[in-house]
Amino acid sequence: MLNLETLLLELSNAQGPSGFESEVRQIVRKELKPYVTSMETDGVGSLIGLKTGPPNSPKIMLSAHMDEVGLLVRYVTPDGFIKFQTLGGWLDQAIIGQRWQIMTSKGGVLGITGIKTPHVMSADERGKIFKGEGLFIDVGAKDKSDAEDRLGIKPGDPIAPCAKAEKLNGSDFILGKAWDDRAGLAVMIGVMDSIKDKDLPFSVYAVATVQEEIGLRGAHTSSYAVHPDIGLNLESGVAGDYPSISQYEAQEKLGAGPAIFLHDSSMLPNLNLRDFVIETAKEIDLPLQFNVLSGYGQDGAEMQKAFEGTPAINITVPTRYLHSHNSLINLKDVESAIKLVETCILKLDPAVVEGLKNFD
């Protein structure tokens, strides 16, 4: 029996900046194993699990990305401080004053992004934003050779945020890093668990992609590896339910069920698939939210554009404070996202899939 809460905590705690997803891949591989007939990786590291259907039957691709936003060592200063490159979309303000783990060949090295003390600042300086170029990580090294030789820090080493996942104050909220997109991975694993005993008239591909945060790269290659008929991307959504964000900017709320994106800057959903998901949610009385975003990119866009084009949609778990050390999801939303995707999948057969692929 899958323990969803335990799985979520394990996935959130795993370190996997873009391009360095190995720890996450090991968890997903272990979790998917009982549910799939085969598993392989593509040439950039996306993990492709297959629950095989009859020969020449339709291919349904679920995707969720393993990578999280992180940093990468640029160089070590003569004083032993670490200068870095960002991996993925960080606000400079979210980087400072945090704990990080530099993933070296000798193991994890704890560091902090130091911030200048306000004691020495003018009133003018206190109101300023600290720019990325001036930021650094302090690992307590004596100098450059101490950082490099003793601690094993090298240019190109990945750096992951340090933040331990936990349930928040007895609520259904779970606090942690990397819900983007470990929440989606948990949904994917949960769906594969829920359909494990079903003999389906199509194949289901559970694809854990790499390098989403730096340009949907793993989704690109894996979509070509699978050549799906239908694509369901599973993501962290954008909640707009806290002070400082407006409903205009994002419409999802935590605890109000999964959402579908009706617009983001990478994709419009297939309209048949959009209506199919909305109908399915209605049939099982499951609250479904909608989000129209000006920005955001997600892996569904790569499925949609592969080969001759694939009907695709992005289904999300509402998330607060994305791309930071501390983001929030609601366990109930993860459960209902699994229920929604499971029910959608179980309604499919080759004729339904053909219908979804049809344009009038």
* Stretch 122-161: interaction string toward Zn ion, x if CB under 5 A: ----------------------------------------
Which lies closer to Zn ion via its Cβ, residue 200 or residue 293? 293
Q: Is the peptide bond before 181 cis (omega within 30 degrees of 0)?
A: yes
User: Quick one: which segment of 81-89, 169-177, 180-188, 286-294 binds Zn ion (CB under 5 A)?
Assistant: 180-188
181 touches Zn ion (CB under 5 A): yes
SS3 assignment for 81-108: CEEEEEECCCCHHHHCCCEEEEEECCEE
| Residue entry with tokens 């349930």 | 167
Closest distance of CB 261 from Zn ion, Å: 11
Which lies closer to Zn ion via its Cβ, residue 228 or residue 237? 237
Counting residues that bind Zn ion (by CB under 5 A) gives: 2
* Stretch 301-340: interaction string toward Zn ion, x if CB under 5 A: ----------------------------------------
- Among residues 67, 180, 193, 229, the one that binds Zn ion under rule CB under 5 A: 180
* H-state helical runs in the chain: 4-13, 22-32, 92-95, 123-126, 144-145, 179-194, 217-226, 271-283, 300-305, 331-347, 350-356
Closest distance of CB 108 from Zn ion, Å: 24
Q: Catalytic: 212?
A: yes
Which lies closer to Zn ion via its Cβ, residue 21 or residue 180? 180
Closest distance of CB 178 from Zn ion, Å: 9
How many Å apart are CA 131 and CA 164, to the nearest integer? 27
Which lies closer to Zn ion via its Cβ, residue 69 or residue 348? 69
Which lies closer to Zn ion via its Cβ, residue 203 or residue 314? 314
Residue 53, SS3?
A: coil
Closest distance of CB 183 from Zn ion, Å: 9
From the list 21, 31, 68, 212, the catalytic residue is 212
User: Quick one: which segment of 172-180, 203-211, 270-278, 328-336 binds Zn ion (CB under 5 A)?
Assistant: 172-180
**Residue 296 backbone class (left: φ over 0; alpha: ψ -120 to 50; beta: rest):** left
Residue count of the chain, please give it: 360
C-alpha torsion angle, residues 93, 96, 100, 105 (rounded to 10): 100
How many Å apart are CA 336 and CA 262, to the nearest integer? 19
Closest distance of CB 319 from Zn ion, Å: 9
Residue 13, SS3?
A: helix
Site residues (CB under 5 A) for Zn ion?
180-181
What are the residue numbers of the active site? 212
